[in-house]
Amino acid sequence: MNCQFTRFITKIFILCLILTVPLKCSAITEIKDGSELSIDDCIEIALQNDPNVKVAQNMYKIANSQVGQAKSDYFPSLTAGGTYNYQASHNSRAGMMNNMGYMNRGSSTNLDFSQINVSVNQLIWGFGKSIAKINMQKYNRESRGYDLENTKLDTIYNVKTAYYGLLAAKANQDIYRRSVRINQLNYDRTAALYKEGLKSKIDVVNAEVYLTDAKIQLLDADNKYQTAVIQLNNAMYFPNAPKYEIKNTESFNFKRSYNAKNEINIKYVKKGNIKDNDVEQSAVLTSGIEKQDILENFVFQPLHLTMEESIKRAYENRPDLKSLKMVMRAQEESLKAIKRSFLPDLTANAGYNHRRSDETKNSSFSVSAGLSFPMINIMDIKCKVDEGKSYLDIAKNNIDLSEKNIYFEVQNYYINMIQLEKRIPLMGSKVKQTLENFELADGRYTVGLGNFIELQDAQTNYNNAQLTYVQSVFDYNVARAQLERAMAEQ
């Protein structure tokens, strides 16, 4: 029976240990070389590393401790003390003979005394003063909790902005990389046509100049990409991060392609007169120039939300607004405590005393209850009440100001997002139009119907349209992130 009971207790103990050990979570705490991170991964890393979040967490812990300090008024106060006293005295007088003939020289006295005191004091009722202080600290704690949530939202927004910036830099890098390949093939084609006597020397020189410019632009794009990586590392508070790649998001999903045509073929160039309706077919057969469409496989996902719904969500979710409301509640409780400061405290006291000396021992136990009135200064209380009312009015004014700012902030971000949402399809159409124009210009130039300036203008317009389209997608995602931040949504 004893063995079964022992096994039962052991199982209970082991179960308690398992339940108290924190479970390992799948949170990403480091970046491995060659990792591919999603935007959620980057947000998770930032929330773990951001010193601002850690400061806000500690501020919440401090506020929670202050609630416990306020509650301590209702916990008993224990005092204890002890004394020990030893005293020896000797009285001496001038020697004289007594009746027996002996000399009387003086007397000695020893005193050995000890005492122990123990007392317990308990607040029974503070007539609402302690309750008001406790409630005030509770509301302050809630305010700190909302401040922590608001800090996390700032961190998430910064990561999103940096993440979209890196996606945009990567897309621009692809555009300039394709531009280099296009200009390289164009130079090779022009040089080949020049050898056949179909193009002039100046076209070859111009093609070489544009190729050099494209390489310089690619270098700038590579530099901006590295800068965007640094900005994302900074947003994640992850210095010396290893190399990693990032995934596309639902609303920023340009597809990267490394397929390239590295050879040209001019044997299909038609000699003699070429009609306009033969240009497109001739371009396909002769140029061999890669014209990859950036719109390929791109899916635009708008945010289906009205302005009224956005404002309503912001009022319901904004942690900074909730924090201000908790501050107002704390000021209301503080004002209550001030108004009740002249009321007494009802307390109870229990004490034990033990006293011991050489001659006697004495123990006593006492219980008492009483009202203790504070020192009352009418002028001081009135001024503190006026001060508390002013702080309460300030808290209400801050709430009113925050609500107005939230309204205009959400309205501004929403209008900006909708404008960019409408702009993206138009920019997509422009990319298609400039691509078609570039293909026609390329075909016309190949068969001798167009000049080199027309070709380069068409290529420049196509590149600029792609870059503008990427910028529009980036601006839309940032505007959407701003609106989500204004609505306190992750």
Per-residue pLDDT of the chain (490 residues), as tens digits, is 445 544 544 444 444 443 444 433 444 556 788 888 999 999 999 999 999 999 999 999 999 998 988 888 878 888 888 787 766 666 655 555 555 555 555 566 666 677 888 888 877 777 778 888 888 999 999 999 999 999 999 999 999 999 999 999 999 998 898 888 888 888 888 888 888 787 888 888 888 999 999 999 999 999 999 999 999 999 999 988 888 899 888 888 777 655 555 455 544 444 444 444 444 444 333 344 455 556 666 677 777 888 999 999 999 999 999 999 999 999 998 898 888 878 787 778 887 887 777 677 788 888 877 777 778 888 888 898 999 999 999 999 999 999 999 999 999 999 999 999 889 889 888 988 988 888 888 888 777 787 888 888 888 999 999 999 999 999 999 999 999 999 998 7
CA 124 vs CA 75, 95, 118, 136, 344: distances in Å: 10, 66, 19, 20, 11
- Which pairing describes strands 345-357 and 106-125: parallel, antiparallel, or unpaired? antiparallel
What is the CATH code of the structural domain delimited by 128-339+384-486?
1.20.1600.10
Both ends of the chain: CA-CA distance in Å? Answer: 58
Longest CA span, the chain: 167
Q: Which two tokens stand for residue 330?
A: 């704390």
Q: What pTM was estimated for this model as a whole?
A: 0.78
Q: How far apart are CA 235 and CA 243, in angstroms?
A: 16
Which amino acid, residue 473?
V
Cβ(105)–Cβ(95) below 8 Å: yes
Q: Which two tokens stand for residue 206?
A: 């111009």
125 forms bridges with which residues in the sheet?
346
Nearest-CA neighbor of 413 among 299, 251, 305? Answer: 305
Cβ(446)–Cβ(114) below 8 Å: no
CA 20 vs CA 12, 14, 17: distances in Å: 12, 10, 5
**CA dihedral of residues 225, 231, 237, 240 (deg, nearest 10):** 40
How many CB atoms lie under 10 A from the CB of residue 166? 24
> According to the model, what pLDDT value does residue 282 have?
41
What single DSSP character describes residue 73?
Answer: G
Helix residue ranges per DSSP H, 274-377: 279-286, 307-317, 319-339
Dihedrals φ, ψ of 482, to 5°? Answer: -65, -40
Cβ(123)–Cβ(130) below 8 Å: yes
Adjacency order of strands within the sheet including 77-92: 77-92, 106-125, 345-357, 361-372
- With vertex at residue 91, the alpha carbon angle to CA 87 and CA 97, rounded to the nearest 5 degrees, is 150
Dihedrals φ, ψ of 235, to 5°? Answer: -65, -30
> According to the model, what pLDDT value does residue 446 have?
77
Long-range contacts from 421-426, C-beta under 8 angstroms, 24+ separation: 421/302, 421/303, 421/476, 423/472, 423/476, 424/300, 424/469, 424/472, 424/473, 424/476, 425/300
Which amino acid, residue 305?
L
Grouping H, G, I as helix, E, B as strand and the rest as coil, residue 122 is: strand
> According to the model, what pLDDT value does residue 287 have?
46
